[in-house]
Amino acid sequence: MVVKDDAGVTDQVPPVIPALVFDGERISGLVGGSVTAGRFVVGGAGIVIGPAGTVIIAEANDAPARSGVWSAEEVRLIGPAPAPVTERLMRSPWGADENPLPIHITVRLGEEVLYLGTAQVSRASTCDGVLTGCELRFETPLSRELLNRVRPPIAPVDLPDLEWLREVNGDRAAALEHFVTGWYPAAGTAESPSPGSPSRLPGGLRQLYRLAKQRPGALGTQNSILPERDLHTDHLGEMLVFGVENQGGFFWSLLWTLDGLETDPTVWFREFDEEPTAEQEQLSGFLIQFSLFEASMGADYLAMSLRLAAPQVERLTQDLHLVPLRPFWPWAPTYFYVAPGLVVRVSNAGGEEFDVWAGATHRSALDPLADLSVSWTRFDG
């Protein structure tokens, strides 16, 4: 690496080897200037900015609310960030510079600083021009051994159990209740039910609305069940629209009859320019599937792999429990597999390849997937 000192003299800085312990003098060489001149703190991580590059010095931790190494592929900064940091990182990923300055990632282990390599900004969020969050991808992923040093594993906690699974084809209302209350922590106090319209809705929807009073996530984070006040009929007045895709590509609805809505009606899936297609499970089973899908998408800890062959999927799911329901979602028929604190969905959009997406309430719940021969697009374990 070539840097210039304060006098403009060009020096050749030896390359840094990953996992090398180094000191403040080496940091000065990486940024091309004084360590203290452009030093900032973002979410507990030190950031040193200089004319030749940026060095991020995180603490070894696994706290979601603090900056640090998130996975073998990713580092996260939790803002707000000072203006110089915002300016440096926000221009980095999208080619504002033809030759963007390198971002070096290090972690402090006690009195030592361990070098991990370089990273690039993959996602950033701002509020009023201030960087509030930033995800950076390592150019070379960390080994499992090194990851465990710089992101020490945290002890497993009590994970949501699978008691609900026994009720799926018995008391589905109980299954939905047990899954939702086990997966989502309660927040706030329950509100009194609204008078009038709830009594006209099928029991499954009324139950989900009741659960969502304390657990808003139960209505979805990727796609969503509409809040009761937003329920509406389609343009023909024949269907009650109650669920929508996050980008508006499709919706779910229930058919009105002369007697109103059935107790456990058929759920109709419809793209806006296509004929409706019936979901394979009635509303009571659909709401369990919807809840599992959203849990897999919106969890704090995720794993994702695309285009797996059937034998790979079989190995991946062999120690998990299949949820005994017919396939969900006509777009890409989907089955669900579960373990305590873990939901894995397997979807097939046609052909012989499958997409797998897993969500977990705690990082340790992903451990059963860690040693599989799978190329993960993302793995938070």
Q: What is the CATH number of domain 2-150?
A: 2.30.280
> Between β-strands 103-109 and 53-59, what pairing exists: parallel, antiparallel or unpaired?
parallel
- pLDDT at residue 15 in the model: 62
Measured CA distances, 229 to 238, 239, 242, 247, 252 (Å): 18, 16, 10, 20, 16
Query: Rounded CA gap, 216 and 38, in Å?
Result: 42
State the virtual CA torsion across 357, 360, 365, 371 in degrees, nearest 10: 20
Q: State how far the alpha carbon of 63 is from the alpha carbons of 66, 92, 95, 208, in Å.
A: 6, 26, 31, 31
Distance CA 293, CA 344 (A): 9
Sign of the C-alpha dihedral computed for residues 164, 165, 170 and 176 taken in this order: positive
Cα within 13 Å of Cα(54), Cβ side? 25
Q: What are the two backbone dihedrals, phi and then psi, of residue 102, each rounded to the nearest 5 degrees?
A: -70, 150
**Identity of residue 309:** A
> Where are the domain boundaries for CATH 2.30.280 in the chain?
2-150
Q: Residue 81 in contact with residue 42, Cβ under 8 Å?
A: yes
Taking the model in full, what pTM does it have?
A: 0.87
pLDDT of the residue at 260: 67
Residue 21's pLDDT is 77
The one-character DSSP state at 111 is T
Of 294, 292, 246, 252, the C-alpha closest to 272 is 252
Contacts of 158 (CB under 8 A, 6+ apart): none
Percentages (nearest 5) of helix, strand, coil residues in the chain: 25, 35, 40
Q: What is the pLDDT of residue 40?
A: 96
Report residue 45 as tokens. Answer: 């991580």
Reading the chain (381 residues) residue by residue, the pLDDT tens digits are 433 344 443 444 456 777 677 777 888 889 988 766 689 999 999 999 999 999 999 999 999 899 999 999 999 999 999 999 999 998 765 545 567 899 999 999 988 999 999 999 999 999 999 999 999 999 999 999 999 999 998 887 889 999 999 999 999 999 999 999 999 998 865 454 444 444 589 999 999 999 999 999 999 999 999 999 999 998 778 899 999 999 888 999 999 875 667 889 999 999 877 889 999 999 999 999 999 999 999 999 999 999 999 999 999 999 999 999 999 999 899 999 999 999 999 999 788 899 999 999 999 999 989 889 899 999 999
| DSSP notation for 267-330 | EEEEETTS--EEEEEEHHHHHHHHHHHHHHHH-SEEEEEEEEEHHHHHHHHTTSEEP-SPPB-T
User: What is the pLDDT, as a whole number, of residue 10?
Assistant: 41
Contact 289, 336 (CB under 8 A): yes
Peptide bond preceding 80: is omega within 30 degrees of 0, i.e. cis?
A: yes
Residue labelled with tokens 């991580």: 45
pLDDT of residue 97: 55
Helix residue ranges per DSSP H, the chain: 24-31, 83-90, 144-150, 172-183, 203-212, 283-298, 310-317, 367-370
pLDDT of amino acid 153: 87
**Which residue is it, tokens 């360590």?**
35
**Could you read off the pLDDT of 266-314 as tens digits, one per residue?**
999 998 778 899 999 999 999 999 999 999 999 999 999 999 999 999 9
CB neighbourhood size of 187 (10 A): 10
Residue 226: its pLDDT value, please? Answer: 97
Residue 92: predicted pLDDT: 64
